Structure 1
Amino acid sequence: MASLSAMKKKPFVAATLLFLGLLCSLEHIGAQSLGVCYGGNGNADNLPPESEAVSLCKTYGIGRMRIYSPYPGILQALRDSNLEIMVGVPNDSLQALSEQSAAADWVQRNIKDYSSNVKFKYIYVGNEVNPTSPTAQFVLPAMQNIYKAIADAGLQNQIKVSTAVDTNLLGVFDPPSAGDFSENARKFMEPINGFLVSNGAPLLANIYPYFRVKYNNQSVPYALFTAPGTVVHDGQLEYQNLFDALMDALYSALEKTNGGSLAIVVSESGWPSGGGAVETVENAGTYYRNLINHVKKGGTPKRPGNAIETYLFGLFDENLKTEDIEQHFGLFYPNKQLKYNISFT
């Protein structure tokens, strides 16, 4: 029989281990819920090499990266990095990939050849495709073909195939419970939602309160998570920030189009630090800080619970973007200096 002192210690030790385990689990959830969007050198002529961009993410504890198209420079840099990767099929490739042979070749060259030591998590087929554009008809066939190629490669349990949308698809977004797709967007999204549900994949969504401030006259404090109290009462639900309201409006729209069981991964969110009156370093820093803290806490009023998987836009300022505002979304300057007083973990 154990001694009395040992018996007294066991509950304490067990409780301590449980507490430490919980802390580690929470730390892991918080850190791993954050990713960053990396546009690469195509949108700038003053950025460090891809290998240094990957090292920068690891140095700052960023666990995930979104890339907008696969190319050898970034894929080589990601080998053995342990970053979880969201990789895009560019919109101008969708028509070609609506042919199965082309999709199989794309997966072989860009995914399977690197899958032994690059942690691909998502392939998103198209980014913010306008439902009325000629390209829209190719999104679902390309998704289906990419998925088949992934399955043929034995990677369907590792990689989810989705598409990235924006909240402009919403014809109604206020209050969030009334959220609904526009008529054109509904026709576009219903079959896509069915595909995602059948394959257990989330919908990827670019959520930008900033653009609602810029173009829809929404309140700046409501967008920056700094409103002092409830701004929108929606039945039993209360909204103090626009990020939650936009996400829940999208959830409401999904519920109306056979996508009620889908989860949303925030594939982009950010705020520019220059180019206009509300585009300041102070506002951008406030937004990123509060967004990071918010998504780590987990959930929205409509969907409370786990941390919200979120990708911050973007890693660097990109000086070749055509619009001035779009040149200032970087979390880091091109010299790798962090622009804001924020922590990713």
Structure 2
Amino acid sequence: MTIYTSLVHQIFILLYIFTQLFHISTATTIGICYGRVANNLPQPTAAVNLINSNGISSIRLFNPVLESLIPFSGTGIQLTIGVPNEELPTIAAGTPATANDWLQANIFAHVSADQIRYLVVGNEVFLKDPFYTPHIIPAIINLHQALQNLGLSDKIKISSAQAASILSNSFPPSSSSFDTNILPDLTHLLQFLRDTSSPLMVNVYPYFSYINNPQLVSLDSALFRPGNVLNDQGLVYDNLFDQTIDAFIYAMEKEGFGGIPVVVTETGWPTAGGDVASGENALAYNGNVVKRSLNNVGTPKRPGIGVEVFLFDLFDENEKMGNEFEKHFGIFGVDGVKSYDLNFH
């Protein structure tokens, strides 16, 4: 009996060690968006050196411009690369061979496939740029088939980044639903994501939610401050980020697509140019996003499953259109100095 008890005890110890090692090995990735809509940015080689020196291991490029892509070659930095909206009609109208030619010419001739994590086919097309909507799924299918032919479809996952506005209702999370106008196309996308074990990619900005509805949205909730608590069917929410992620999960479940992971392809907080835009608030928001992801906190609906995020943005972008705050999401100044003391690991 003593030997049996000792053996069981040893087994439990081994299982505990294994689970701890597994937890460490599956830490959620923190990525940074490298937007380049500016005329005063450092050279891409300097930007890559800055990324490396800060231990940032994952970068999102909105398009495969060679000037910014080539310096990443051989660095080991994982890349999430956008297929721009304007490229979709040509790729969609072609064949897998056409898609392969595009991949080879724009990406694989310049950086190893081993460095590519995701292809983001189109950015915020549904509702915001509907001209390209009919081209999304055909382009994705051709690109996926091209990756299959290259033996890369298990390594490089394909999705399409969507704005939070594809939800017609998001509060409370359990009542969320997708805009019915996009459901036919969105359903095809969700089917592809489920079939290929790929994530739904969403751009999430509690900052926008707050400034657009300050009477209804709590700044404390947007900034992860204690105070406002929402109890939604037994799940307790104390921040807007979790509410938004779970709203997408509930909406997918309502359409029969439970289990698809969610990746946040953009999130951030501006340091200037608008109401409550400051370095202090940007640090509070991004700092909490990073900590929660690295610690695999997850959300109330998916606890313990860290949310992979790409923080927006590496630098301020002084040629961005729209409101002034759109130009001030940079985590680093163009001189390479952090705009606020954010840690990435």
Percent identity between matched residues is 35
Q: Which whole-Å CA distance do the structure 1 matches of 2:292 and 2:271 have between them?
A: 20
Task: Determine if contact 1:127/1:163 at 8 Å carries over to the other structure.
Answer: yes
Secondary structure of 1:108 counterpart: helix
The offset of 1:113, in angstroms, is: 2.1
Taking structure 1 as the reference length, what is the TM-score of the superposition?
Answer: 0.89
Give the 5 Å matches for 1:208-287: 208-217=205-214, 218-230=217-229, 232-287=230-285
Matched with 2:43 is 49
Q: Which runs of 4+ in 1 moved over 3 A?
A: 24-30, 114-118
Give the 5 Å matches for 1:1-345: 18=17, 22=20, 29-30=26-27, 33-40=29-36, 43-98=37-92, 99-100=94-95, 101-114=97-110, 116=112, 119-131=115-127, 133-217=130-214, 218-230=217-229, 232-298=230-296, 299-323=298-322, 324-345=324-345
Q: Identify if the C-alpha distance between structure 1 residues 337 and 26 changes in structure 2 by more than 3 Å, giving closer, same or farther.
A: farther
Matched with 2:5 is none
Counterpart of 2:54 in structure 1: which amino acid?
Y
Secondary structure of 1:260 counterpart: coil
Task: Determine if contact 1:38/1:68 at 8 Å carries over to the other structure.
Answer: yes
The offset of 1:175, in angstroms, is: 0.7
Unaligned runs of 5+ in 2: 1-9
The offset of 1:330, in angstroms, is: 0.5
Deviations 1:106-129 (A, max 9, x none): 111123324536510100100111
Task: Determine if contact 2:220/2:228 at 8 Å carries over to the other structure.
Answer: no
Deviations 1:28-69 (A, max 9, x none): 654x520000013xx111111112212211211111000000
Taking structure 2 as the reference length, what is the TM-score of the superposition?
Answer: 0.89
Q: Which whole-Å CA distance do the structure 2 matches of 1:143 and 1:117 have between them?
A: 18
Matched with 1:3 is none
Q: How many residues align structurally?
A: 326
Task: Determine if contact 2:122/2:160 at 8 Å carries over to the other structure.
Answer: yes
Q: Which whole-Å CA distance do the structure 1 matches of 2:126 and 2:219 have between them?
A: 27
Deviations 1:120-155 (A, max 9, x none): 010010011134722111111110011111112221
Q: Which whole-Å CA distance do the structure 2 matches of 1:177 and 1:326 have between them?
A: 31
Q: Which whole-Å CA distance do the structure 1 matches of 2:295 and 2:228 have between them?
A: 18
Counterpart of 1:254 in structure 2: which amino acid?
M
Q: Which whole-Å CA distance do the structure 1 matches of 2:203 and 2:46 have between them?
A: 26
The offset of 1:104, in angstroms, is: 2.3
Task: Determine if contact 2:69/2:111 at 8 Å carries over to the other structure.
Answer: no
Deviations 1:271-305 (A, max 9, x none): 11111121122211211111111222321001112
Task: Determine if contact 1:270/1:288 at 8 Å carries over to the other structure.
Answer: yes
What is the root-mean-square deviation of aligned Cα atoms in Å?
Answer: 2.1
Task: Determine if contact 1:273/1:329 at 8 Å carries over to the other structure.
Answer: yes
Deviations 1:148-177 (A, max 9, x none): 111122211210011101210001101101
Comparing 148-157 with 237-246, which one deviates more in the overlay? 148-157
Task: Determine if contact 2:221/2:228 at 8 Å carries over to the other structure.
Answer: no
Q: Identify if the C-alpha distance between structure 1 residues 39 and 335 changes in structure 2 by more than 3 Å, giving closer, same or farther.
A: same
